[in-house]
A and B are shown apart, each in its own frame.
Chain A
Amino acid sequence: MSLSKSSSFISAAFACWMCWGSMGCTMKSKLEPSNTLHLVAEEKIKGLDPIYADDLYAGTQVSQVYEGLLQYHYLKRPYVLIPNLAESLPEVSQDGLTYTFHLKKGVLFQDDPSFKKSQGKGREMTAEDVIYSFKRLADPRLSSSGWWLFDGKIMGLNEWHQSAMQVATTDYSQVVEGLKALDRYTVQIKLIQRSAQFLYSMAMPFTGIVPHEAIEEYGKEFINHAVGTGPYQLAEYSPNSKIVWVKSPTYRSEVYPLEGSAGDQEAGLLEDAGKSLPLADKIVIQVFVERQPMWLNFLSGKLDTTAIPKDNFSSAITPNKELSEEISSKGIRLTKSPSLDITHISFNMSDPLIGKNKLLRQALSLAYDEATFIDLFYNGRAIQAQGPIPPGISGYDPTFKNPYRQFNVAKAKELLAKAGYPEGKGLPNIEYVTTADSVGRQESEYLTKIMSTIGVTLKVNSYSWPQLQEAIKNKKAHLWSFAWSADYPDAENFLQVFYSKNASPGPNDSNYTNLQFDRLYEKSLTLSESAERTALYKKMVSLLVEDCPWIFRSHRLGYTLIQPWLKNYKSNDFDHGHYKYYRIDTKIKK
């Protein structure tokens, strides 16, 4: 064997690759319809069963094939619920406890071999399917991450959940008082107490309607199948790398919205008004775990849209937050939109050191410089938070200034001294827990530096995500950073994380307990949007501001880049099923 032989082998291999590569390209362009969307999932997909769709990435994929009774209007802001599988918004009884939904007639499930009676033809979706799908959320054997939506809310459902625990297999035929199919097209839901937020749950991916045949056929493998009523049908599914959706031939007739919010007309978002959905024939979703390849693929035109990763911001956006020359010359557009979320540092209120010393928490809150953080880590893409409720939701007060969130080292030192630790003397090290990744490490470096300015020493412990959660849910750490984003556009969703009955392992991870807060919260649940409720929200926020269970950090702005050929993009916090509105302008994209 000689060197020349092996090098000629390599050049031969290289030549082969070159011709294969070019062949590949031509073959691909023949196969793929020109109006194919190329989109991104930033995490691997956890599966396509709606009852586990608790993150954005799984939620978005699930929503291409499964639909709920309601959905959010694509264009209108503030967010408005409109019917999806329901014919209209439900009738609500006088006492506000009984909801009656009338379903659309003639909605078909996609064709699938599991429909044996009809030789694989999809059958009509009925009220029984709705009842069945909702019961799955409550099935203890399935451990759905969406059970909280219905837990303690629907009459008889918790009893059904309990009794299912006792028997070997869950009995779906056992009737639940609060979930009834009155006829083929009518569903009646009875609540235990009034809930202003209940209807939102009908528009979440969790409550997508599934056919029992598919679940009986595929069992646990159902997570890898998709048999819904939605606009797209699954063509290829590798949850770790790629998902391909194609237009469902049996999708009912739905049209692009005829009206929108102010400015939508001008932005060209109504050009397709009245056209039948979905607009794109095919969607190719690529999974990108690493940011660098995602960004580079977008810049080379392989992706239609992308959020801007933190560290690509300065190359994409000029200091005045507009697009850089290099990018705008390619015709790429930028959209900015506030996201309904809050980032925060939680104090563990059940910890004897942190939880019992309000002055200490207030001092730390005052010392925390968020403005610099926003510049360094979000490239200025965030609004400093004053309380838990983000702008865009009723209960947010733009004029309110949180006295403990005005960066002030002198005052922080003063409060620290009052708390019993002048210049940090006598204060034990405070344990900050974070995730073991680059961003977690950089953030903790920043926080350590900030806290050392008032003499407080942080001990940083970084963990894997499950370990971090274990530490927090078992009330072990002192401080940690988290973000909370809205499940639905209501301040209640942000205030529930301070309700004492939601303490760890529930969503109230700071284990905040305040009976006065609890009473106000419970009262607010029964009220629908009104001045009275907004006043309650304000009162609750003022309690939180004083008690300081969190350092309220920021509400982030989403910056999304869009290729010139992608039409009808509007940023959206909730509507996971928005791909059906996207269109590729084939004249621009060659």
Chain B
Amino acid sequence: MLPYIFRKLLSTIPTLFGVALIVFILFNMVGGDPTYQMLGRHANAKQVEELRHEYGFDQPKYIQFGQYLKQIITFDYGRSYATKQPINQMIKDGIGPSLSLMIPSFFITTLLAVSLGLLVAYFRGKWIDKLVVILSVFGMSVSMLAYILFGQYFLAYKLGWFPISGYETAWPDRLQYLLMPMIIFVVVSLGYDVRFYRTAILEETSQDYVRTARAKGLTESRIFFKHVLKNSMIPILTNIVIEIPLLILGAFLLESFFGIPGLGSITIDAVHNSDFPVIKAMTTLDAILFILGNLATDIMYTLVDPRVSLK
């Protein structure tokens, strides 16, 4: 097992390199020079030059790329151009708010989606199947932006059910601010998950062993709960595991509108400000988490399903 994990880890290096290369090319081409913004409206040419030198913008591109690779290895991206904050600190501060929004949202969504997925798969083709699928698709057919605007205006301001926006670090207080964004998250993402889990379970019901079991005379509910359920847990768990690392990154629309100081809003600010160090850090972090998610899935497969070889 260990050599397998090690080999998998090694194989992520080329991917990370590719990510670094693409991010560097894309954001160097589009960047927008942050110098002018950093110096304010009274800057003169000499000061612009000094600052560019100070930050190494005048270095050849390949040296800048080399420095970026070094940053990835040491995970030290220095400071944000826009806020002058150390980036590691920004990330550390942003993880808490993002997770406190995303973990409960994800937990509720998954719980609901798996239950509903099972329900509709069991009653496949019946009216309850159609109803649940259509209702969950209803949710995802409206833009999240529309939910946010509507929720803040009607539910929060007009009806006063929730605070309009805000964030509190102290715990019991924090929850009231997170509730509306959580609900929006669940409504928007439920549809996809329910259908995904439904399909995963249905794929299982058409496997050969189900026919065999049926031929052996097992009852339908026994087949469903004993065999189908157990086996369809693999794709379900895979989907869950792969999403978990990405929760850290937060949800940028929800965070900007509800004033939650998480990683999502940090990322969007960075893009708006051409804050290249933050963009690099966040993109790399994201890629690493994504790769980790994949790795965890692979490992889980080998644990759950003996047919997957450890070559």
Contacts and interface: CB of A to CB of B under 8 A. Distances in A.
Direct touching of A and B (C-beta under 8 Å): yes
Interface of A: 1-3, 5-6, 9-10, 13, 17, 20-21, 23-24, 27-28, 44, 46-47, 49, 52, 54-55, 140-141, 143, 145-148, 151, 165, 220-221, 223-224, 238-242, 286-290, 292-293, 296-297, 299-300, 302, 463-470, 473, 502, 505-507
Contact of A145 (B32, B40, B152, B273): B40
Given A239-B85, A466-B31, A506 B45 contact: yes
A288 B259 contact: yes
B112 A6 contact: yes
Interface stretch (B68-76, B159-167, B213-221, B296-304): B159-167
Given A151-B44, A239-B85, A299-B157, A469 B152 contact: no
B36 A240 contact: no
B61 to A, nearest CB: 17
A-B pairs, top 6 by smallest CB distance, nearest first, are A467-B32, A145-B40, A466-B32, A54-B40, A148-B42, A466-B274
Interface string B19-32: 00000000000111
Main secondary structure of the interface of B (DSSP, over half): helix
B166 A286 contact: yes
Interface in B138-184: 149, 152-153, 156-157, 160, 164-170, 172-173, 175-176, 179
A286 B269 CA distance: 17
Contact of A469 (B37, B45, B166): B37
Given A241-B261, A293-B259, 7 more contacts: A240-B261, A241-B166, A290-B257, A467-B31, A473-B48, A505-B43, A506-B43
A296 B153 contact: yes
B184 to A, nearest CB: 14
Contacts of B179: 17
The winner among A3, A17, A147, A240 for most chain B CB atoms within 10 A is: A240
Contact of A21 (B119, B152, B153, B176): B176
A21 B161 CA distance: 11
A242 to B, nearest CB: 7
B43 A223 contact: no
26 contacts: A1-B114, A6-B115, A17-B176, A24-B173, A44-B269, A54-B42, A140-B54, A143-B51, A145-B43, A146-B40, A220-B79, A240-B261, A241-B166, A286-B259, A289-B265, A293-B152, A293-B257, A293-B258, A296-B164, A300-B157, A464-B274, A465-B272, A466-B274, A505-B44, A506-B45, A507-B41
A250 to B, nearest CB: 27
Nearest to B179: A17
A493 B112 CA distance: 61
Interface of B: 30-34, 36-45, 47-48, 50-51, 54, 79, 82-86, 93, 108, 111-112, 114-116, 118-119, 149, 152-153, 156-157, 160, 164-170, 172-173, 175-176, 179, 256-261, 265-266, 269, 271-274
Given A463-B32, A465-B37, A506-B42, A165 B50 contact: yes
B30 A467 contact: yes
B115 A2 contact: yes
Contacts of A23: 172
B36 A466 contact: yes
Given A28-B173, A290-B257, A148 B43 contact: yes
A296 B167 CA distance: 16
B112 A241 contact: no
Contact of B175 (A21, A286, A299, A465): A21
A287 B261 CA distance: 10
A464 B272 contact: yes
B172 to A, nearest CB: 4
Given A465-B37, A505-B48, A52 B42 contact: no
A205 to B, nearest CB: 12
A350 B229 CA distance: 72
Contacts of A2: 115, 119
Contact of B266 (A148, A240, A287): A240
Nearest to B259: A241
A464 B170 CA distance: 35
Contact of B108 (A10, A27, A473): A10
A411 to B, nearest CB: 34
A141 B41 CA distance: 19
B281 to A, nearest CB: 16
A464 B33 CA distance: 10
B108 to A, nearest CB: 7
B36 A470 contact: yes
Contacts of A468: 32
Contacts of B112: 6
Nearest to A148: B42
Contact of B119 (A3, A221, A240, A464): A3
B269 to A, nearest CB: 7
A20 B172 contact: yes
B83 to A, nearest CB: 6
Contacts of B167: 241-242
Contacts of B44: 148, 151, 502, 505-506
B33 A469 contact: yes
B164 A297 contact: yes
B27 to A, nearest CB: 11
Given A1-B114, A223-B84, A240-B266, A465 B273 contact: yes
A551 to B, nearest CB: 19
A6 B111 CA distance: 7
Contacts of B258: 293
Given A242-B167, A296-B164, A505 B36 contact: yes
Given A24-B176, A470-B32, A470-B33, A223 B85 contact: yes
B51 to A, nearest CB: 5
A2 B257 CA distance: 34
A133 B114 CA distance: 61
Contacts of A49: 84
A387 to B, nearest CB: 20
A464 B47 contact: no
A52 B152 CA distance: 34
A5 B37 CA distance: 54
A59 to B, nearest CB: 11
A534 B70 CA distance: 59
